Amino acid sequence: MVTTTAAVLAGDTAKRRGRGKRPRRSAATRGDWIVGYTMVAPVVLGSLAFVIVPLVTVFWYSLHDWNVLANTFTFAGGENYERMLSDQGLHDSLLASLWFSIGLVILNIALALFLAVMLNQKLPGTTTFRTFFFSPVVVSLVAWTIVWSFLLQADGGINGFLNLLGIHGPNWLRGDFTAMLAVIVVQVFKNVGMNMILFLAALQGVPEELMEAARIDGARAWRRFWSITVPMISPTILLVSILTIVGSLEVFAQIDVLTQGGPGNSTTVLVYYLYQQAFQFNDFGYASAVSVLLFIIVLILTLLQWQTRKRWVFNEN
């Protein structure tokens, strides 16, 4: 250990010394420089054209009152942001988004982890089940949702199945709670396969010798899972949490196909509200302000998760 550390330190010192007498850049190095920037240019250009410029543009639009029908585009300063403070519809949509996100994150991560643990066992047929649970991920989102819209009808497949069991199922898409639950479940079944595969990969990376040592020390299955498996896969839990939370705030197609924000406005999540303002009510300025709000929420949640990772993600401290 001492030898290795000394060697690293020596190398570092040599690097620092070398900085004072940097040799002139050779033609070959300049060539590398050009090649390097050429290689990253598409990504930089793409990010500028499709991320940075739209972001700046949307912020610029949010400072305007823009009616596409009347063809008016007038500077409004912070009026759109002030309006958000008193817009009950927006507040309701934030609450709907919160419920949707909580329900989705809890159900999705719990189910994905459960499936991954089950399918990590060395039992016959696990490959078939992995394929079965992953297959919805590759199905078209709209097609998937349309099929569910038929299943969730009052006289649809789900209530038909419940009837066989002697249960009178609710009118899923007409009740405030059941409609939100239905949208969450449809989304969970659509994407749980992806998270399951990520967890499965992480589980297969947990060293067997640690498990073996714990077994020898007398740790039971739950203890081994909680004290070894969970810490070892915590980087994946972080990744899955970020992906799921960000994804939950971007849900749109399921709402549009299944409930169109109803009943009432119980499933009008933030993105659907934004869509209504822009494309149904032609209020693009206000919709831009709402999209800036959505961007800030996603940014804060992601940064928050990233900053708190040291407390709960293995090897991050």
Partner 1 sequence: MSNPRSRRRRVPLAVSAGIAATALALSGCSGSGTDAESADGPVDLRMTVWTADEAQLALFQEIADAYVDENPDLVSSVKFEPIPFEDYTTTLTTQLAGDNAPDLAWILESYAPEFVASGALTDIAPTLKDTDGYDYDDLMDSSLELWQKDDGLYAYPFSNSPFAMFVNTDQLEAAGQPNPADLVESGDWTFDAARDMSAAAAETSGKEGLVVRDFDFKAWEVLASVWGGWDAAPWSADGQTCTFADPAMTDVMTWIHDAIFEQGAMPKPGTTADFFAGDAAMTITQISRASSLDDSFGWDLVPLPAGPEGQQNVIGQAGIGVFANAAHPTIAADFLAYFTNPENAEKLATYFPPPRESLLNAETLAEANPKLSEEQLQNVVVEGIKDATTKPTHKNFAKLQDAVRQQLDDLWTADADVSSVLSDTCSAIEPLLEG
Give the binding range for partner 1 (CB under 8 A) out of 153-161, 186-194, 244-252, 296-304.
Answer: 153-161
Asked if 30 is part of the footprint of partner 1 (rule: CB under 8 A), the reply reads no
Nearer to partner 1, 37 or 161 (CB): 37
Using the rule CB under 8 A, give the single segment among 39-47, 184-192, 200-208, 291-299 that binds partner 1. 39-47
Q: At closest approach, how far in Å is the CB of 169 from partner 1?
A: 11
Cis, bond preceding 207 (omega within 30 deg of 0): no
Select 12 or 155, whichever has its Cβ closest to partner 1.
155
Identify which of residues 199 and 272 has a Cβ nearer to partner 1 in the complex: 272
The verdict on 223 binding partner 1 (CB under 8 A) reads no
Q: Is 153 in the site for partner 1 (CB under 8 A)?
A: yes
169 binds partner 1 (CB under 8 A): no
263 binds partner 1 (CB under 8 A): yes
Part in contact with partner 1 (CB under 8 A); list of ranges 93-101, 202-210, 232-240, 258-266: 258-266
Under the binding rule (CB under 8 A), the answer on residue 280 touching partner 1 is yes
Contact window for partner 1 (CB under 8 A) among 65-73, 96-104, 193-201, 237-245:
65-73
Binding residues for partner 1, per CB under 8 A? 22, 25, 37, 41, 44-45, 48-49, 52-54, 57, 66-71, 150, 152-156, 171-174, 260-265, 276, 279-282, 284
